[in-house]
Copies of this chain bind each other. A is one copy, B any other.
Protein backbone atom coordinates (compact mmCIF):
# COMPACT_ATOMS: atom_id res chain seq x y z
CA UNK A 1 0.00 0.00 0.00
CA UNK A 2 1.39 3.35 -1.01
CA UNK A 3 1.06 6.82 0.43
CA UNK A 4 0.36 9.51 -2.17
CA UNK A 5 3.15 11.64 -3.61
CA UNK A 6 1.34 14.79 -2.54
CA UNK A 7 0.95 13.59 1.05
CA UNK A 8 4.66 12.78 1.12
CA UNK A 9 5.41 16.31 -0.09
CA UNK A 10 3.59 17.71 2.96
CA UNK A 11 5.38 18.27 6.24
CA UNK A 12 4.07 17.92 9.79
CA UNK A 13 2.94 21.30 11.12
CA UNK A 14 5.85 23.11 12.80
CA UNK A 15 3.30 24.63 15.18
CA UNK A 16 1.96 21.20 16.15
CA UNK A 17 4.75 18.68 15.59
CA UNK A 18 6.11 19.13 19.11
CA UNK A 19 2.70 18.38 20.64
CA UNK A 20 3.71 14.87 21.85
CA UNK A 21 6.87 16.22 23.51
CA UNK A 22 4.77 18.95 25.12
CA UNK A 23 2.30 16.40 26.49
CA UNK A 24 5.23 14.46 27.96
CA UNK A 25 6.75 17.61 29.49
CA UNK A 26 3.42 18.55 31.05
CA UNK A 27 3.10 15.02 32.41
CA UNK A 28 6.43 15.66 34.17
CA UNK A 29 4.78 18.70 35.79
CA UNK A 30 6.31 21.47 33.66
CA UNK A 31 4.38 24.64 32.84
CA UNK A 32 4.83 25.46 29.15
CA UNK A 33 4.47 28.99 27.77
CA UNK A 34 2.88 28.11 24.43
CA UNK A 35 3.86 30.78 21.98
CA UNK A 36 3.82 28.28 19.11
CA UNK A 37 0.18 28.60 18.15
CA UNK A 38 -1.95 31.66 17.47
CA UNK A 39 -4.34 30.75 20.25
CA UNK A 40 -5.23 34.00 22.01
CA UNK A 41 -6.39 34.12 25.61
CA UNK A 42 -8.85 36.96 24.95
CA UNK A 43 -12.32 35.83 26.02
CA UNK A 44 -14.68 34.80 23.23
CA UNK A 45 -17.61 37.29 23.30
CA UNK A 46 -20.34 35.71 25.46
CA UNK A 47 -22.83 36.25 22.61
CA UNK A 48 -21.30 33.18 20.95
CA UNK A 49 -22.13 30.85 23.83
CA UNK A 50 -25.50 32.51 24.44
CA UNK A 51 -26.60 32.01 20.83
CA UNK A 52 -25.61 28.35 20.96
CA UNK A 53 -27.26 27.76 24.33
CA UNK A 54 -30.52 29.28 23.18
CA UNK A 55 -30.56 27.41 19.86
CA UNK A 56 -33.48 24.99 20.04
CA UNK A 57 -33.38 22.16 17.53
CA UNK A 58 -34.66 18.74 18.50
CA UNK A 59 -32.60 17.11 15.75
CA UNK A 60 -29.27 18.78 15.05
CA UNK A 61 -29.60 18.91 11.27
CA UNK A 62 -27.21 19.57 8.40
CA UNK A 63 -26.96 23.24 7.53
CA UNK A 64 -27.17 24.32 3.87
CA UNK A 65 -23.87 23.58 2.10
CA UNK A 66 -23.02 27.26 1.43
CA UNK A 67 -23.74 28.18 5.07
CA UNK A 68 -26.70 29.32 7.15
CA UNK A 69 -28.42 32.46 5.80
CA UNK A 70 -28.12 34.34 9.15
CA UNK A 71 -24.35 34.00 9.10
CA UNK A 72 -24.00 34.91 5.43
CA UNK A 73 -26.12 37.99 6.04
CA UNK A 74 -24.08 38.95 9.11
CA UNK A 75 -20.89 38.70 7.04
CA UNK A 76 -22.45 40.78 4.26
CA UNK A 77 -23.21 43.51 6.82
CA UNK A 78 -19.73 43.27 8.30
CA UNK A 79 -18.17 43.79 4.86
CA UNK A 80 -20.68 46.57 4.19
CA UNK A 81 -19.24 48.47 7.16
CA UNK A 82 -15.79 48.43 5.49
CA UNK A 83 -17.28 49.54 2.15
CA UNK A 84 -17.35 46.17 0.44
CA UNK A 85 -20.61 45.20 -1.19
CA UNK A 86 -21.22 41.44 -1.45
CA UNK A 87 -24.05 39.29 -2.75
CA UNK A 88 -24.98 36.22 -0.65
CA UNK A 89 -23.53 33.95 -3.36
CA UNK A 90 -20.16 35.70 -3.04
CA UNK A 91 -19.77 34.16 0.43
CA UNK A 92 -19.29 30.46 1.12
CA UNK A 93 -19.03 29.47 4.77
CA UNK A 94 -16.21 27.03 5.46
CA UNK A 95 -14.87 25.01 8.36
CA UNK A 96 -12.37 27.66 9.37
CA UNK A 97 -10.15 29.64 7.05
CA UNK A 98 -8.28 26.33 6.66
CA UNK A 99 -11.03 24.67 4.65
CA UNK A 100 -11.41 27.88 2.63
CA UNK A 101 -7.74 27.60 1.68
CA UNK A 102 -7.87 23.87 0.90
CA UNK A 103 -10.98 24.19 -1.29
CA UNK A 104 -9.48 27.21 -3.03
CA UNK A 105 -6.30 25.29 -3.87
CA UNK A 106 -8.29 22.25 -5.06
CA UNK A 107 -10.41 24.58 -7.22
CA UNK A 108 -7.65 26.48 -9.00
CA UNK A 109 -4.50 24.34 -9.00
CA UNK A 110 -3.51 21.53 -11.34
CA UNK A 111 -0.47 19.34 -10.68
CA UNK A 112 2.68 21.34 -11.34
CA UNK A 113 1.00 24.76 -11.37
CA UNK A 114 2.53 27.47 -9.24
CA UNK A 115 1.49 29.79 -6.45
CA UNK A 116 3.68 32.76 -5.61
CA UNK A 117 3.97 33.05 -1.83
CA UNK A 118 6.12 35.62 -0.03
CA UNK A 119 8.39 33.85 2.44
CA UNK A 120 8.38 33.44 5.39
CA UNK A 121 4.77 32.22 5.13
CA UNK A 122 2.19 30.37 7.20
CA UNK A 123 3.45 26.77 6.79
CA UNK A 124 0.00 25.21 6.33
CA UNK A 125 -0.19 27.05 2.99
CA UNK A 126 2.33 24.52 1.82
CA UNK A 127 0.08 21.56 2.78
CA UNK A 128 -2.95 23.06 1.04
CA UNK A 129 -0.97 23.80 -2.13
CA UNK A 130 0.70 20.37 -2.09
CA UNK A 131 -2.65 18.64 -1.53
CA UNK A 132 -3.71 20.00 -4.90
CA UNK A 133 -0.42 19.03 -6.53
CA UNK A 134 0.73 22.65 -6.75
CA UNK A 135 4.16 24.14 -6.26
CA UNK A 136 5.21 27.14 -4.16
CA UNK A 137 7.29 29.79 -5.89
CA UNK A 138 8.81 31.59 -2.93
CA UNK A 139 9.05 35.38 -3.08
CA UNK A 140 12.01 36.03 -0.76
CA UNK A 141 11.91 38.86 1.75
CA UNK A 142 14.27 39.84 4.52
CA UNK A 143 13.93 41.06 8.06
CA UNK A 144 16.09 44.04 7.13
CA UNK A 145 13.40 45.19 4.70
CA UNK A 146 10.67 44.50 7.27
CA UNK A 147 9.72 41.38 5.32
CA UNK A 148 8.03 43.61 2.76
CA UNK A 149 7.14 41.67 -0.37
CA UNK A 150 5.28 44.37 -2.28
CA UNK A 151 7.93 44.71 -4.96
CA UNK A 152 6.45 44.63 -8.45
CA UNK A 153 9.68 43.74 -10.18
CA UNK A 154 10.50 40.81 -7.91
CA UNK A 155 6.95 39.46 -8.19
CA UNK A 156 6.84 39.75 -11.97
CA UNK A 157 10.15 37.90 -12.24
CA UNK A 158 8.42 34.88 -10.70
CA UNK A 159 5.35 34.85 -12.95
CA UNK A 160 5.35 32.10 -15.57
CA UNK A 161 2.66 30.53 -17.73
CA UNK A 162 2.19 28.06 -14.86
CA UNK A 163 1.41 30.73 -12.29
CA UNK A 164 -2.14 30.49 -11.03
CA UNK A 165 -2.13 32.76 -8.01
CA UNK A 166 -0.32 34.90 -5.52
CA UNK A 167 -1.14 34.06 -1.91
CA UNK A 168 -0.38 36.22 1.10
CA UNK A 169 -1.58 36.98 4.63
CA UNK A 170 -2.25 40.65 5.33
CA UNK A 171 -1.75 41.66 8.12
CA UNK A 172 1.02 39.13 7.97
CA UNK A 173 1.47 35.82 9.67
CA UNK A 174 4.31 35.16 10.62
CA UNK A 175 5.91 38.56 9.99
CA UNK A 176 3.38 41.11 11.21
CA UNK A 177 3.86 43.05 7.96
CA UNK A 178 0.94 45.33 7.07
CA UNK A 179 0.57 46.47 3.47
CA UNK A 180 -0.45 50.03 2.75
CA UNK A 181 -3.08 51.00 0.19
CA UNK A 182 -0.59 51.70 -2.59
CA UNK A 183 1.07 48.33 -2.13
CA UNK A 184 -2.29 46.58 -2.18
CA UNK A 185 -3.20 48.48 -5.36
CA UNK A 186 0.03 47.35 -7.00
CA UNK A 187 -0.72 43.70 -6.16
CA UNK A 188 -4.20 44.10 -7.62
CA UNK A 189 -2.70 45.57 -10.80
CA UNK A 190 -0.19 42.74 -11.15
CA UNK A 191 -2.92 40.09 -10.76
CA UNK A 192 -5.14 41.82 -13.29
CA UNK A 193 -2.41 42.38 -15.85
CA UNK A 194 -1.11 38.82 -15.60
CA UNK A 195 -4.50 37.18 -15.28
CA UNK A 196 -3.79 35.35 -12.05
CA UNK A 197 -5.76 34.89 -8.84
CA UNK A 198 -5.01 36.82 -5.66
CA UNK A 199 -5.64 34.75 -2.56
CA UNK A 200 -5.76 37.35 0.19
CA UNK A 201 -5.80 35.77 3.61
CA UNK A 202 -7.18 38.61 5.72
CA UNK A 203 -8.10 36.78 8.90
CA UNK A 204 -6.17 39.38 10.95
CA UNK A 205 -7.79 42.34 9.20
CA UNK A 206 -8.59 44.29 12.40
CA UNK A 207 -5.24 43.70 14.09
CA UNK A 208 -3.28 46.58 12.69
CA UNK A 209 -1.02 48.80 14.79
CA UNK A 210 -0.10 51.39 12.18
CA UNK A 211 -1.20 55.02 12.56
CA UNK A 212 -4.06 54.55 10.10
CA UNK A 213 -7.37 53.55 11.67
CA UNK A 214 -8.93 52.62 8.32
CA UNK A 215 -9.63 48.90 7.94
CA UNK A 216 -8.26 47.77 4.60
CA UNK A 217 -9.23 44.82 2.44
CA UNK A 218 -8.29 43.77 -1.08
CA UNK A 219 -12.05 43.50 -1.57
CA UNK A 220 -12.23 47.30 -1.57
CA UNK A 221 -10.85 47.35 -5.14
CA UNK A 222 -13.74 46.96 -7.54
CA UNK A 223 -11.77 46.11 -10.69
CA UNK A 224 -10.41 42.70 -9.66
CA UNK A 225 -13.69 40.85 -9.10
CA UNK A 226 -12.58 37.91 -11.24
CA UNK A 227 -9.14 37.69 -9.66
CA UNK A 228 -9.85 38.08 -6.00
CA UNK A 229 -10.33 35.36 -3.39
CA UNK A 230 -10.60 36.51 0.23
CA UNK A 231 -9.96 34.02 3.03
CA UNK A 232 -11.62 34.97 6.27
CA UNK A 233 -12.39 33.48 9.66
CA UNK A 234 -13.92 34.20 13.07
CA UNK A 235 -10.99 32.49 14.83
CA UNK A 236 -8.75 35.47 15.46
CA UNK A 237 -11.18 38.33 14.88
CA UNK A 238 -13.46 37.13 17.68
CA UNK A 239 -11.04 34.95 19.61
CA UNK A 240 -13.06 31.88 18.69
CA UNK A 241 -10.47 29.54 17.18
CA UNK A 242 -12.28 26.42 18.35
CA UNK A 243 -15.45 27.33 16.44
CA UNK A 244 -13.87 26.42 13.09
CA UNK A 245 -15.94 28.89 11.12
CA UNK A 246 -14.49 30.80 8.22
CA UNK A 247 -15.46 31.76 4.73
CA UNK A 248 -14.18 32.21 1.23
CA UNK A 249 -15.33 35.33 -0.59
CA UNK A 250 -15.14 35.67 -4.36
CA UNK A 251 -17.15 37.29 -7.12
CA UNK A 252 -15.67 34.99 -9.76
CA UNK A 253 -18.69 32.94 -10.87
CA UNK A 254 -16.70 29.98 -12.24
CA UNK A 255 -14.80 29.76 -9.00
CA UNK A 256 -18.00 30.01 -6.96
CA UNK A 257 -19.32 26.98 -8.85
CA UNK A 258 -16.13 24.99 -8.32
CA UNK A 259 -15.96 25.85 -4.62
CA UNK A 260 -19.62 24.99 -4.16
CA UNK A 261 -18.98 21.45 -5.43
CA UNK A 262 -16.46 20.90 -2.66
CA UNK A 263 -18.78 22.54 -0.13
CA UNK A 264 -21.59 20.23 -1.21
CA UNK A 265 -19.38 17.16 -1.05
CA UNK A 266 -18.76 17.74 2.68
CA UNK A 267 -22.45 18.54 3.18
CA UNK A 268 -22.21 21.43 5.64
CA UNK A 269 -20.30 23.32 8.30
CA UNK A 270 -21.19 22.57 11.95
CA UNK A 271 -24.60 24.08 12.63
CA UNK A 272 -24.19 25.32 16.20
CA UNK A 273 -20.86 26.97 15.44
CA UNK A 274 -22.45 28.85 12.56
CA UNK A 275 -25.23 30.03 14.87
CA UNK A 276 -22.59 31.23 17.32
CA UNK A 277 -20.54 32.86 14.56
CA UNK A 278 -23.55 34.82 13.31
CA UNK A 279 -23.92 36.23 16.83
CA UNK A 280 -20.21 37.14 16.83
CA UNK A 281 -20.50 39.19 13.65
CA UNK A 282 -23.33 41.08 15.31
CA UNK A 283 -21.37 41.91 18.50
CA UNK A 284 -20.37 45.43 19.41
CA UNK A 285 -17.37 46.45 17.24
CA UNK A 286 -15.92 47.92 20.45
CA UNK A 287 -14.58 44.40 20.98
CA UNK A 288 -12.06 44.98 18.18
CA UNK A 289 -10.71 48.19 19.70
CA UNK A 290 -10.27 46.51 23.06
CA UNK A 291 -8.52 43.42 21.76
CA UNK A 292 -6.32 45.49 19.46
CA UNK A 293 -5.18 47.67 22.37
CA UNK A 294 -4.47 44.55 24.36
CA UNK A 295 -2.32 42.98 21.62
CA UNK A 296 -0.42 46.23 21.10
CA UNK A 297 0.37 46.29 24.79
CA UNK A 298 1.64 42.72 24.66
CA UNK A 299 3.68 43.34 21.55
CA UNK A 300 5.43 46.29 23.15
CA UNK A 301 6.15 44.33 26.31
CA UNK A 302 7.70 41.50 24.29
CA UNK A 303 9.79 43.87 22.19
CA UNK A 304 11.16 45.62 25.28
CA UNK A 305 12.31 42.27 26.67
CA UNK A 306 13.74 41.01 23.36
CA UNK A 307 15.73 44.20 22.83
CA UNK A 308 17.74 43.39 25.93
CA UNK A 309 18.72 39.86 24.88
CA UNK A 310 22.21 39.61 23.36
CA UNK A 311 22.28 38.33 19.79
CA UNK A 312 18.49 38.49 19.39
CA UNK A 313 17.06 40.54 16.52
CA UNK A 314 13.61 41.16 15.08
CA UNK A 315 11.46 43.53 13.05
CA UNK A 316 8.69 45.30 14.94
CA UNK A 317 5.45 43.68 13.73
CA UNK A 318 2.80 46.15 12.56
CA UNK A 319 -0.17 43.79 12.61
CA UNK A 320 -1.59 40.39 13.53
CA UNK A 321 0.01 38.93 16.67
CA UNK A 322 3.10 37.15 15.48
CA UNK A 323 6.71 38.07 14.98
CA UNK A 324 9.77 36.44 13.48
CA UNK A 325 12.74 36.59 15.83
CA UNK A 326 16.34 35.65 15.10
CA UNK A 327 18.00 33.79 17.95
CA UNK A 328 21.70 33.25 18.60
CA UNK A 329 21.41 29.43 18.39
CA UNK A 330 22.62 26.84 15.88
CA UNK A 331 19.18 25.50 14.94
CA UNK A 332 15.86 26.58 16.42
CA UNK A 333 14.33 23.13 15.80
CA UNK A 334 17.01 21.54 17.98
CA UNK A 335 16.61 24.35 20.50
CA UNK A 336 12.84 23.68 20.71
CA UNK A 337 13.41 19.97 21.23
CA UNK A 338 15.92 20.76 23.95
CA UNK A 339 13.48 23.16 25.62
CA UNK A 340 10.89 20.40 25.91
CA UNK A 341 13.16 17.51 26.82
CA UNK A 342 16.11 18.88 28.78
CA UNK A 343 15.42 22.42 29.95
CA UNK A 344 13.40 23.87 32.76
CA UNK A 345 13.58 27.15 34.66
CA UNK A 346 11.67 27.20 37.93
CA UNK A 347 9.38 24.48 36.59
CA UNK A 348 8.72 26.30 33.32
CA UNK A 349 9.71 26.09 29.68
CA UNK A 350 8.38 27.44 26.41
CA UNK A 351 7.27 26.58 22.92
CA UNK A 352 7.53 28.59 19.72
CA UNK A 353 7.46 27.52 16.07
CA UNK A 354 10.92 26.89 14.56
CA UNK A 355 11.51 29.14 11.55
CA UNK A 356 12.68 26.82 8.77
CA UNK A 357 9.23 25.45 7.78
CA UNK A 358 8.07 29.04 7.21
CA UNK A 359 10.43 29.11 4.24
CA UNK A 360 10.38 27.22 0.98
CA UNK A 361 14.01 28.04 0.26
CA UNK A 362 16.23 25.37 1.88
CA UNK A 363 18.51 26.58 4.64
CA UNK A 364 16.55 29.72 5.44
CA UNK A 365 14.99 30.36 8.81
CA UNK A 366 17.03 27.85 10.79
CA UNK A 367 17.99 30.47 13.36
CA UNK A 368 14.59 32.14 13.39
CA UNK A 369 11.44 31.40 15.36
CA UNK A 370 7.87 32.56 15.04
CA UNK A 371 6.34 33.71 18.28
CA UNK A 372 2.69 34.47 18.91
CA UNK A 373 2.13 37.20 21.52
CA UNK A 374 -1.23 35.87 22.54
CA UNK A 375 -1.09 36.00 26.32
CA UNK A 376 -1.50 38.85 28.77
CA UNK A 377 1.43 41.14 29.28
CA UNK A 378 2.81 39.68 32.53
CA UNK A 379 2.61 36.16 31.11
CA UNK A 380 4.45 37.26 27.94
CA UNK A 381 7.10 39.00 30.03
CA UNK A 382 7.59 35.90 32.11
CA UNK A 383 7.87 33.78 28.94
CA UNK A 384 10.57 36.16 27.67
CA UNK A 385 12.47 35.81 30.93
CA UNK A 386 12.35 32.03 30.53
CA UNK A 387 13.60 32.46 26.94
CA UNK A 388 16.52 34.61 28.10
CA UNK A 389 17.60 31.99 30.64
CA UNK A 390 17.14 29.20 28.08
CA UNK A 391 19.30 30.96 25.48
CA UNK A 392 22.09 31.41 27.95
CA UNK A 393 21.98 27.83 29.18
CA UNK A 394 21.63 26.35 25.70
CA UNK A 395 24.73 28.08 24.47
CA UNK A 396 26.72 27.16 27.56
CA UNK A 397 25.62 23.53 27.80
Contacts and interface: CB of A to CB of B under 8 A. Distances in A.
A272 B242 contact: yes
A168 interface: no
A261 B127 contact: yes
A131 interface: yes
A16 B6 CA distance: 30
Contacts of A313: none
Contact of A252 (B1, B107, B110): B1
Interface in A232-262: 239-244, 252, 254-255, 257-258, 260-262
A44 interface: yes
Q: Which range holds the interface residue count of chain A? A: 35 or more
A7 interface: yes
B110 A5 contact: yes
Contacts of A65: 13, 16, 19
Contact of A262 (B131, B261, B267): B131
How many copies of this protein are present in the complex? 2
A289 interface: no
B164 A2 contact: yes
Interface string A120-145: 00001001100111000000000000
Given A7-B258, A133-B111, A1 B43 contact: no
B272 A52 contact: yes
B241 A269 contact: no
A373 interface: no
A109 B132 CA distance: 11
Nearest to A274: B242
A345 interface: no
B267 A98 contact: yes
Contacts of A255: 1, 3
Given A37-B62, A102-B266, A269-B244, A2 B108 contact: yes
A124 B242 contact: no
Interface stretch (A53-61, A319-327, A380-388): A53-61
24 contacts: A3-B258, A4-B106, A4-B108, A5-B110, A7-B106, A7-B107, A7-B258, A10-B261, A15-B264, A16-B65, A19-B64, A41-B59, A44-B60, A52-B53, A59-B239, A60-B241, A95-B270, A96-B267, A99-B266, A124-B267, A127-B261, A243-B271, A243-B272, A272-B273
